[in-house]
Structures are given as structure tokens and as C-alpha cells.
Chain A
Amino acid sequence: MARYEGLDFYAIDKQLTDEERMVRDLVRNWVEDRVIPIIEQHCREGRFPMHLVPEIGEMGLLGMNLEGYGCAGMSNVAYGLACQELERGDSGIRSFVSVQGSLCMHPIHAFGSEEQRRRYLPEMATGKLIGCFGLTEPDYGSNPGGMVTKAVDDGDSYVLNGAKMWITNGSIADLAIVWAKLIPPGGTLADGRIHGFIVEKGDPGFSAPEMHGKHSLKASVTSELVFEDCRIPKDRILPGVSGLKGPFSCLNNARYGIAWGALGAAQACYWSAREYALSRTQFGKPIASFQLVQNKLAWMLREITKGQLLALQLGRMKDAGTMFPEQISLAKMNNVDIALQIARIARDIHGANGILDEYPVMRHMANLESVYTYEGTHDIHNLILGRWITGIPAFE
């Protein structure tokens, strides 16, 4: 098979700076050399390729759009392009980088104390420390404000009780950013206000059992976080934020990266479908010569190109500081939606071969099923847009 090349039907490449292109090419080459040869085996065995973490750190991809503390300080477009190339490899690799950078390093950077920043960020940037993000609970997914995990002030420490679920990196993490309701003295859960806490591996009463039996994101670690009278020092609260805007600020950053990442998975599927359609012969000619197949490929090209324009403009707005959250919802929702459909159609074009891990399409398809409902489900993003259009929230 020819070496992978991204799709650039609308000359979007020319809209990128030299530096953004260099980041894109660096990550693309790294994925081609280091991820593609091993990823199917890791998926088969349900193992996260832990050995790649130091390399990802050495390149500087962790927290790459943050300033200082050992972070590269790149543009958000460069970060998006990195996500795109990583997810062309596998959604699990991109998820690792999203969680580390956007969900863990970002809140420490934005809401942490100076001491917390210095303590965690430089080692998180190199991948020596791995983070995870605990917001979702077994009974509170789309409605995180209803969370029941609570923190109680107990003199010189906080005591946490509750459980988080669907936590990427949970069991391999050295620290967790945990969102819990801080209950005022004598108050109940209803009086609690959401705060972020840094819980470290080994803190008493904290465990992170891995969840098994996934058909999706198999090369990624997904865990529960359990807090049973988990006691942490007072200096582990994130002092700079309270309420849902803390976790939402993290999610906005991660969703932004997903809007780009999904395009990587989509392009991998498009590339594989095109190669396959050109080489697979039926009725004496390549199946690429049939109108039905061409129609499918044309649809993929069309949707990927539109998705690229969405992602790039979103990134330019984020870099200019003018982006608002509803715009992220639209791009995340659209790009994951079309990526999932492209993966399914690519599987169709591959026929029976498409179900084998000799081709990447079914892996991407299964991964994207998760991405479709994580970081805000497809439906919730529609409701966010519905609220923006009508002023009426349909999910409260």
C-alpha cells in the first residue's frame, strides 16, 4: 500500500503556517512509523501501547497548546492537527493525549495554584506523570451537575466519597482531576458546590479498577475511580474555579481536539476504502469503476472537506479568542458523525475484508461509536445548539 497521505481537496494546506505544517508532518510520520505497525495487535489484546508515552512526551505533544511549565506553547490549530494525525492512528492514542493535555494539564494550568503547576505540569508534559479526569458518574453522564461524589472539609484534609466511571487512563494514572461537590459544614449534597481536586495514586481510600469487555477503544485504558473515605491534603483543591464551568472549560478544550481527531479517523477510512476499491476486481474491473462505489467515495470526500473547513475556522477562532462553546458543539458533533458514517461506508466498500484487522476500518468504526457519545453525546450537542437558537434549554 502506498504511504498514507491526508486528503487536501480544498488546498487547506496552504492556509496553515509552516510551523503548523511541520507539526502535522511530524506527528503523521511518527504515527506511520510507530503506531500503525503495532496498533492492531494492541487492539486485539486490549492493551494500551504504554511504550509510546515517553515518545509522545519527548515530541512535546502533551499540553502542547499551553504556555510555560515545559509545554510547547503551540497554536490551537497545531494542536488540532496533532489530534487529527494521532486519531488517524487510533482514537485511543488521541484520547490519551486529549485527556492528558486538555482534561488534566489544562485545569491545573488554568485553575491550579502556582505550586500545583510547578509540581505537576513539567512532568506531565514529558509523560512521566499520567493524568485522568473524573467527572462522569454511573448515574450522571449528560447531567454532570447532578453528581453525588462529595468532598467534606475535615480540618487539615478533604475526605472524598463517591465513584466515577468511563475514565480514560484511570488505572495507569498517577493523578486524577476529580470533580466533587464540596459540602459546607453541616450542609447536605444539595448545598454542595462543584470543585476540582487532585487525587494521587496511592492516596488512602482511592482505587481505579479497569473496566473490561469493551468492543471499542480497545487500545485505551478505561476505568472506574472509587473514593471510600479518600483523604487528601488541603493543598490539592484547585483554587481557581468552582461550579460546572471548571469541568466545562476542560471539556471545551478536549471537544475542540476531537473535532479535528475525528477527521483523522475519517481520512484513514477514506484512504483505505479508496485503495481497496482501486485494487479489488469484480466483474472483470476494479470496484472503483462502479458508480455506486464512486458515489460513496465522493460523499466521503465531500464530508471530510467540509469537516476540515469547520475545524480550521474553529481553530482560528480559538486562537483569536473569539470561539464560543456552541461552535465547538457543532464541529464536534458534525465531524464525529460524518467520521462514523464514513467508517461504516468504508467497511461496506471493503466487503467481508472490512471486518478483518488487516484493514483499519472496523477498528475506527468501533472506536468512533464511543467518540460519538463521549465528551457530550451527539444528541446533547444538538440540544446545546437548540438552546442557542431558541434560547430555551431542553435538557434542564
Chain B
Amino acid sequence: MKIGVLLKQVPASDARIKIADPSTGIDTADIKWEINPYDEYALEAALQLKDAKQASSVVVLTVGGADADQRIRDALARGADAAVRLDDPAFEGSDCLGIARILAAAAKAEGVELLLAGKQAIDGDNAQVPGMVAELLGWGNISVVDKLEFADGTVKAWRASGGGARDVVEASLPLVITCDKGLNEPRYASLKGIMMAKRKKIAVKGAADLGLDPSTVGAAAALVVEDNWSLPPERPAGRILEGDDATRVKELVRLLRDEAKVI
């Protein structure tokens, strides 16, 4: 079984975000990029399946420019076997559905039977692409998984379903699974892995390579238009209550009820 991992680079979680222009988005000039943290769980899950000889190989699929190569190399250094970077001027301005069309076509071209992805990317927080990919491929989809078992082509996945309850989902391949924190502890690369990653090639593919109609992706095909970018309003400073515990607790409850109206 060949596994595909959907990997996205996102601004580091502690990056200071600035708006470049309200119509185009954030200023990426000083941004430090990292692998989307939830995608790291997906990659680790794939590598563990490979270590356990339940998968033959792991291929990383990323939509992005050459600046994403460093993140892809990191994944290769941790043990992924191959990578395909999906890059084409026609992909510019794709919305989630456009990205999903590109990734679905790539998954088909690569002949993968299982796709693992993060439950969401921490930049846009859309959490849409993996589900769309599953739909486009006609595959099943289990989302927000924090425990996974795999035997003889059957997957058993656990997920929180709210209120402390847990779902256990059984499914068969082909599948798209999205991964949550707690699923595993992502490994560090090793120096040998870094040396080996140097010899692995990152294939770059465009619409023509995937047999994808360029009019179905990119800005022209986008159903969602992003406009009017602005930073969230600054959080007001906190308030420290004075007095002894009894007074402060009473005051806190009053404020939560009367001002914040949360109780």
C-alpha cells in the first residue's frame, strides 16, 4: 500500500502577522515557515505504518512554490520516500475546492490508496481540503482522528465526538484520514535522514502532467473570494480583582454573569 501525505507549509505559530494589502493578504516577507503541525501527525502516522511494514512507501503531496521545498525536504529527511510539489501558474489563487481538485488528481496519478492529512491547517483554519479530496475521489473520509489501527486493509479509527464521548469508526480502503493532536509523537529527523533526503527528488508537476483542466482550478474557478483582510481587534487588557478570596470570587461570578454574560 502506498500512502500519500498532504503537507502544507504555514507561517510559524509564533510568527507576527502583518497585512500587506487588504485586498491580497498577509505580508510574507519576514515570515518563518513550518510544516503545518497537524500535518506532522499525518506524516508520522504514515511513517509508522511504513515502519510496521503495513505500507510500502510514503509520498508527500504539496501544493506550492519552490519556497515549500525546505519543508518537503524536512519530511523526506524524517523518512518519506518521495515528494510531488504541485506548481503551475494555473493554480494561482485557487480556493479550497481548487486545491482539493489538484490534490485529488495528484493522489490518483501517484496511485495511493490512503491519504493522511492534518485535521486543519493552522493558517486559514478552513479544515475543508481533505474532505473535498475524499469527495472528489469518491473515497471515504474519517476526520479528526487521534488513534488509529490498521490491519489487513481495514482501518479502525478513534475520534472525540464531544462531551467526552468517543466514536470508533471502521472503514476499508481507499480512504482519506485527517489527524489530530494525540495521534502520535512526531519524530525528529536524523542526520542520516538528512543525507538521504539530499538524494531524493522532489517532482514538480503542473495541470498538464495531472491531466487537469486548468479552468477548474485557480482564481478564475474560485467560488470563495478572499477580500478585505484585516487583523483581529486587539484584545483588551485583563483586569485583576482586589480583596480577599471571598470578595474576589463573588465579584468574578458577578462579572461573568452581568458583564460577560457567560453564566
Q: Which residues of A contact B (CB under 8 A)?
A: 2-3, 5, 18-19, 21-23, 25-26, 29-30, 55, 58-61, 64, 72-74, 78
Are A19 and B14 in touch, CB under 8 angstroms? no
Are A19 and B190 in touch, CB under 8 angstroms? no
- Known A-B contacts A18-B73, A19-B198; the reply to A60 vs B191 at CB < 8 A is yes
Q: Which residues of B contact A (CB under 8 A)?
A: 12, 14, 32, 70, 73-74, 77, 188-192, 194-195, 197-198
- Known A-B contacts A2-B14, A18-B70; the reply to A26 vs B189 at CB < 8 A is yes
Residue contacts A-B, CB under 8 angstroms, 10 given: A19-B194, A22-B73, A22-B77, A22-B197, A25-B74, A26-B188, A26-B194, A55-B188, A64-B191, A73-B195
- Known A-B contacts A3-B14, A19-B198; the reply to A60 vs B70 at CB < 8 A is no
Are B73 and A59 in touch, CB under 8 angstroms? no
Q: Which of B14, B73, B188, B191 has the most CB of A within 10 A?
A: B191
B interface SS class? helix
| B70 proximity list for chain A (CB < 8 A) | 18, 21-22
Are B14 and A60 in touch, CB under 8 angstroms? no
- Known A-B contacts A2-B14, A22-B74; the reply to A59 vs B195 at CB < 8 A is no
- Which residue in A5, A25, A60 is a CB contact (below 8 Å) of B190? A60
- Known A-B contacts A3-B14, A18-B70; the reply to A23 vs B188 at CB < 8 A is no
| A55 proximity list for chain B (CB < 8 A) | 188
Q: How far is the CA of A3 from the CA of B15 in the complex (A)?
A: 10
Q: How far is the CA of A3 from the CA of B195 in the complex (A)?
A: 27
| B74 proximity list for chain A (CB < 8 A) | 22, 25
- Known A-B contacts A3-B14, A18-B73, A22-B73; the reply to A61 vs B191 at CB < 8 A is yes
CB distance from B66 to the nearest CB of A (A): 12
| A73 proximity list for chain B (CB < 8 A) | 195
- How many residue pairs bridge A and B at CB < 8 Å? 50
Are A74 and B195 in touch, CB under 8 angstroms? yes
Q: How far is the CA of A23 from the CA of B189 in the complex (A)?
A: 9
CB distance from A290 to the nearest CB of B (A): 25
Q: How far is the CA of A112 from the CA of B196 in the complex (A)?
A: 28
Chain A minimum-CB-distance residue to B78: A26
Are A72 and B192 in touch, CB under 8 angstroms? yes
Q: How far is the CA of A171 from the CA of B191 in the complex (A)?
A: 28
| B73 proximity list for chain A (CB < 8 A) | 18, 22
- Which residue in B188, B190, B191, B194 is a CB contact (below 8 Å) of A29? B188
CB distance from A15 to the nearest CB of B (A): 16
* Given contact pairs A2-B14, A74-B194, a sample of 12 additional A-B residue pairs in the complex whose CB atoms are under 8 Å apart: A22-B70, A22-B74, A26-B77, A26-B188, A29-B188, A55-B188, A59-B190, A59-B191, A60-B190, A72-B192, A74-B195, A78-B191
Are B191 and A74 in touch, CB under 8 angstroms? yes
| B14 proximity list for chain A (CB < 8 A) | 2-3
| A58 proximity list for chain B (CB < 8 A) | 188, 190
Q: How far is the CA of A74 from the CA of B77 in the complex (A)?
A: 14
CB distance from A354 to the nearest CB of B (A): 25
Q: How far is the CA of A331 from the CA of B76 in the complex (A)?
A: 35
Q: How far is the CA of A22 from the CA of B191 in the complex (A)?
A: 9
Are A30 and B191 in touch, CB under 8 angstroms? no
| A61 proximity list for chain B (CB < 8 A) | 191
Are B77 and A59 in touch, CB under 8 angstroms? no
- Which residue in B12, B189, B192 is a CB contact (below 8 Å) of A22? B189
CB distance from A101 to the nearest CB of B (A): 12
Q: How far is the CA of A47 from the CA of B41 in the complex (A)?
A: 33
7 pairs of A and B residues whose beta carbons are closest in the complex? A60-B191, A72-B191, A60-B190, A22-B194, A3-B14, A59-B190, A26-B189
| A64 proximity list for chain B (CB < 8 A) | 191
CB distance from B259 to the nearest CB of A (A): 29
